[in-house]
Chain A
Amino acid sequence: MLELVMKISLICLTLSMLGLVYRLIKGPTVPDRVVALDAIGINLVAIIAIISMLLNTNAFLDVILLMGILAFIGTVAFAKFLEKGEIIENDRNQ
């Protein structure tokens, strides 16, 4: 029963990821694409969690936290590039 539910939710996550990929390709502006990329990362976290339940292992739990951190840092870097034009400043008070 639980396995069936997990497979159905995997399919739902895959469909939502397809929608996000559509936004990533089609998105008229760059911020649209950045938000889609961030949501794809979080979607991937959910998929990893369900797959690690299906495989009955807890070896992927570190990957979940890692994906969250990497998605956050990547989105912050993209946002800073869009706003200021450079990612790492030499001196922000200048």
Chain B
Amino acid sequence: MRTNDVILQTVSKIVFFIIILFSIHLFFAGHYNPGGGFIGGLLTSGAIVLLLLAYDIKTVAKGFPINYITLIGIGLLFAVGTSAGALLFNVPFLTHAYDYFYLPLLGKTSLHTAVLFDTGVYLVVIGVTMTIIQTIGESE
């Protein structure tokens, strides 16, 4: 008998966006509050895992045509790039810079290059988690 999980699919469609928004909030809160790239990436992959639970690997792969192994490479490039970018300004490796900018909509904001490093961490965590889960899920 084929089961019909319409409640699970409808709920996870809605909850997916709430989890994604919460993970983005955690990612950007990382500098001043608890949070950061690691927990944000884990929560994003948790949202994708919820979709994997409600649907199947093929449907989710159609919705997110991302090669997660490439995502790991992009994340590592982000981390190495922002670390090595410090060498261009004659300061030691991994030196970060920040300043205050007046953005049109947000007002006075401090932009920090550590966010780019954190983006690398975020992408690598998503890539590693989803690669592990998908490889285990695909094996028969």
Min distance, Cβ B20 to any Cβ of chain A, angstroms: 11
Q: Contact check: which of B15, B43, B53, B140 meets A80 at CB < 8 Å?
A: B53
Interface residues of A in 15-48 (CB under 8 A from B): none
| Extra A-B contacts (20), CB below 8 Å, given A59-B33, A62-B35 | A59-B34, A62-B26, A65-B22, A66-B39, A69-B19, A69-B22, A72-B15, A73-B46, A73-B49, A76-B50, A77-B53, A80-B53, A84-B3, A87-B137, A88-B53, A88-B57, A88-B137, A89-B137, A90-B56, A91-B56
Q: Is the pair B34, A62 in contact by a Cβ cutoff of 8 Å?
A: yes
Residues in A with CB closer than 8 Å to B55 are 92
The SS class assigned to the A binding surface is helix
Min distance, Cβ A63 to any Cβ of chain B, angstroms: 8
List the B residue with the shortest CB-CB distance to A83. B3
Min distance, Cβ B4 to any Cβ of chain A, angstroms: 11
A contact residues vs B (CB 8 Å cutoff): 59, 62-63, 65-66, 69-70, 72-73, 76-77, 80, 83-84, 87-92
A87 to B97, CA, bound (A): 45
The SS class assigned to the B binding surface is helix
Nearest first, the 3 closest Cβ-Cβ pairs linking A and B are: A88-B137, A89-B56, A92-B56
Residues in A with CB closer than 8 Å to B50 are 73, 76
Residues in B with CB closer than 8 Å to A62 are 26, 29, 33-35
Interface residues of B in 1-53 (CB under 8 A from A): 3, 8, 12, 15, 19, 22, 26, 29, 33-35, 39, 43, 46, 49-50, 52-53
A66 to B57, CA, bound (A): 25
Residues in A with CB closer than 8 Å to B108 are none
Min distance, Cβ A31 to any Cβ of chain B, angstroms: 16
A84 to B5, CA, bound (A): 11
A83 to B134, CA, bound (A): 20
Q: Is B133 among interface residues, defined by CB-CB distance under 8 A?
A: yes
List the B residue with the shortest CB-CB distance to A89. B56
Min distance, Cβ B125 to any Cβ of chain A, angstroms: 15
Q: Is the pair B34, A90 in contact by a Cβ cutoff of 8 Å?
A: no
